[in-house]
């Protein structure tokens, strides 16, 4: 017998037929004798509809009331799944985040989980009950519902798995695992059997949409073995109930991966913009004077490149931001011009960031050189480069994104292993 937390995303519970399919997945684990808790998202499209209603009611709405509205989507799904499970003879009960309680901070709309007392759910396990929990939500210090931001149900599931010391957390979605790159761009992309927490964190933060970044962070901190699985697989197919290695991709400690590849995957993010400040005075505090105000404006700065002039008195500062934040960033920089003392600011949208990721890069030389040569052979110009122990990110012109992804996927042999 094991303790399992199962999470189902919006496409998995899009209508009653799919909710019945989800219930079959849950019943399979219950019939195998496992203790099961389920976390659900709102039905596909429902959150967008609710967000639209709040904006229509008032463009400048109260964040606390926004949370009260958008959290209702998960409440509906949890109730419907509990009813369906009961109809199948499974002892199930739906619960909202505040009933557990999942305690959060006061940042309504983007709250962070502070604490979950697992005792409530452990008591449900002892009663033989399947707890069906509304994801994406908790309760803040002001005693009001607080939502966790987009993809927050993934975070709810991993946090609950950590709180109840689950043997594993299964994230069911519309894909059957984590791939070496986006199969829509590279048909030869392969599903990975295992990927380390660190690699998954990089892939999630660099454009892969399989898991929400915060959920991977939580899984890594609390060492929650997490499987990415497809809810559209037949719940009764052979191997679906395998306790240790069900179908999908296991996200786990690096030590669990015996044969670590040099490069694990290629991620990409479109709609990046490049901003350059020309001829900035090179003196202590300039970088803080630029990036501090940008951070205060909630602008996410990513790649940063600095070129100092030959005489060491001036520098060019180039960095990237999401394309949607360009105007806001330029407005901040314009206000700072007198203080910073730059000559001119230039911006260009339509960039893409392509990243090579792999823990094996720590112990292998020449990985970056291979990428640069492969892109040069395809006449793809590199605008900026950043690196870490397990990642190389390259900024290129947007129209070359798919060619770059396919080229790098091939040059590292990811389509052959």
Consult the annotation and say whether 173 binds a ligand. yes
Query: If you average pLDDT over residues 165-171, what whole number do you get?
Result: 96
C-alpha distances in Å from residue 100, one per residue of 122, 132, 138, 166, 407: 11, 11, 9, 16, 48
* For residue 396, pLDDT beyond 90: yes
C-alpha distances in Å from residue 232, one per residue of 9, 85, 173, 192, 301: 11, 18, 8, 18, 37
Consult the annotation and say whether 120 binds a ligand. no
* For residue 95, pLDDT beyond 80: yes
Consult the annotation and say whether 46 binds a ligand. no
Consult the annotation and say whether 174 binds a ligand. yes
* For residue 313, pLDDT beyond 80: no
Which has the closest alpha carbon to 65: 55, 78, 76? 55
Consult the annotation and say whether 27 binds a ligand. no
pLDDT score at 112:
94
pTM: 0.86
Q: Which of 200-209, 282-291, 314-323 has the lowest mean pLDDT?
A: 200-209
Q: Which of 46-60, 158-172, 294-308, 364-378 has the lowest mean pLDDT?
A: 294-308
- The answer to whether 394 and 405 have CB atoms below 8 angstroms apart is no
pLDDT tens string 203-216: 887 766 788 888 99
pLDDT score at 55:
92
Type and span of the H or E element at 269: strand 265-281
Consult the annotation and say whether 232 binds a ligand. no
3-state percent breakdown (helix, strand, coil) of the chain, nearest 5: 40, 25, 35
Consult the annotation and say whether 47 binds a ligand. yes
Q: Which of 80-84, 128-132, 178-182 has the lowest mean pLDDT?
A: 178-182
Consult the annotation and say whether 10 binds a ligand. yes
Cα distance between residue 223 and residue 297, in whole Å: 33
* For residue 257, pLDDT beyond 70: yes
* For residue 311, pLDDT beyond 70: no
Cα distance between residue 137 and residue 145, in whole Å: 7
Cα distance between residue 223 and residue 167, in whole Å: 10
Confidence band of 26 (pLDDT split at 50, 70, 90): very high
- Alpha carbon dihedral 244, 246, 250, 256, in 10-degree steps, equals 30
Confidence band of 6 (pLDDT split at 50, 70, 90): very high
- The answer to whether 395 and 353 have CB atoms below 8 angstroms apart is yes
pLDDT score at 417:
59
pLDDT score at 244:
78
Contacts of 294 (CB under 8 A, 6+ apart): 301, 321, 329, 332, 333
Type and span of the H or E element at 393: strand 391-397
Cross-strand partners of 231: none
Cross-strand partners of 14: none
Cross-strand partners of 345: 277
More reliable by pLDDT, 343 or 105: 105
Which has the closest alpha carbon to 410: 213, 304, 263? 263
Q: Which of 87-91, 184-188, 206-210 has the lowest mean pLDDT?
A: 206-210
Query: If you average pLDDT over residues 379-399, what whole number do you get?
Result: 92
Cα angle: 29, vertex 155, 178; to 5 degrees = 70
Domains of the chain: 3-255 (3.40.1160.10), 265-411 (3.30.2130.10)
* For residue 80, pLDDT beyond 90: yes
Question: What 3-state class would DSSP assign to 325?
Answer: helix
Cα distance between residue 326 and residue 94, in whole Å: 43
Query: If you average pLDDT over residues 305-317, what whole number do you get?
Result: 77
- The answer to whether 147 and 71 have CB atoms below 8 angstroms apart is yes
pLDDT score at 310:
64
Query: If you average pLDDT over residues 151-170, what whole number do you get?
Result: 95
* For residue 245, pLDDT beyond 90: no
pLDDT score at 171:
96
* For residue 267, pLDDT beyond 90: yes
Burial 199-238 (b: 16+ CB within 10 A, else e): bbbbbbbbbbebbbbbbbbbbbeeebbbbbbebebebeee
pLDDT tens string 35-66: 999 999 999 999 999 999 999 999 888 999 99
* For residue 135, pLDDT beyond 90: yes
Contacts of 389 (CB under 8 A, 6+ apart): 361, 362
* For residue 268, pLDDT beyond 90: yes
- The answer to whether 328 and 254 have CB atoms below 8 angstroms apart is no
- Nearest-Å Rg of the Cα atoms of the chain is 23
Q: What average pLDDT does the structure give for the chain?
A: 92
pLDDT score at 151:
84
Cα distance between residue 308 and residue 312, in whole Å: 6
Helices (H), 9-135: 16-31, 46-57, 63-70, 72-87, 119-126
pLDDT score at 317:
87
């Amino acid at each position: 017998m094991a303790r399992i937390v199962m999470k189902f995303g919006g496409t998995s519970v899009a209508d009653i037929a799919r909710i019945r399919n989800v219930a079959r997945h849950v019943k399979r684990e219950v019939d195998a004798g496992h203790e099961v808790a389920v976390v659900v998202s709102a039905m596909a499209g429902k959150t967008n509809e609710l967000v639209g209603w709040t904006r229509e009611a008032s463009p400048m709405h109260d964040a606390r009331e926004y949370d009260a509205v958008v959290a209702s989507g998960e409440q509906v799904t949890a109730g419907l799944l509990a009813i369906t499970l009961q109809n199948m003879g499974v002892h199930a009960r739906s619960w909202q985040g505040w009933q557990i309680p999942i305690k959060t901070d006061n940042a309504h709309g983007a709250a962070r989980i502070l604490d979950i007392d697992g005792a409530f759910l452990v008591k449900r396990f002892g009663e033989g009950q399947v707890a069906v929990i509304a994801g994406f939500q908790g309760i803040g210090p002001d005693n009001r519902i607080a939502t966790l931001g987009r993809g927050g149900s993934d975070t709810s599931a991993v946090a609950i798995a950590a709180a109840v010391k689950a043997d594993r957390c299964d994230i069911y979605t519309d894909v059957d695992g984590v791939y070496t790159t986006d199969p829509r761009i590279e048909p030869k992309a392969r599903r990975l059997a295992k990927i380390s927490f660190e690699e998954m964190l990089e892939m999630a933060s660099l454009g892969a949409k399989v898991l929400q970044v915060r959920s991977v962070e939580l899984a890594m901190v609390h060492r929650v073995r997490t499987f990415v699985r497809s809810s559209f697989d037949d719940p009764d197919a052979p191997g679906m109930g395998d306790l240790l290695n069900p179908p999908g991709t296991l996200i786990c400690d690096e030590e669990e991966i015996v044969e670590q590849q040099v490069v694990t995957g290629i991620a990409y993010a479109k709609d990046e913009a490049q901003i350059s400040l020309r001829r900035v005075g090179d003196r202590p505090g300039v970088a803080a004077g630029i990036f501090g105000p940008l951070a205060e404006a909630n602008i996410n700065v990513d790649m940063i490149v600095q070129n100092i002039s030959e005489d060491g008195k001036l520098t060019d500062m180039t960095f990237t931001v999401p394309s949607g934040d360009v105007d806001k960033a330029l407005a901040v920089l314009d206000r700072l011009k007198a203080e910073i003392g730059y000559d001119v600011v230039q911006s260009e949208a339509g960039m893409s960031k392509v990243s090579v990721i792999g823990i094996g890069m720590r112990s292998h030389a020449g990985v970056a050189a291979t990428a640069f040569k492969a892109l040069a052979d395809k006449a793809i110009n590199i605008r900026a480069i950043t690196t870490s122990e397990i990642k190389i990110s390259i900024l290129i012109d947007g129209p070359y994104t798919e060619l770059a992804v396919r080229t790098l996927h091939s040059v590292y042999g990811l389509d052959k292993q």
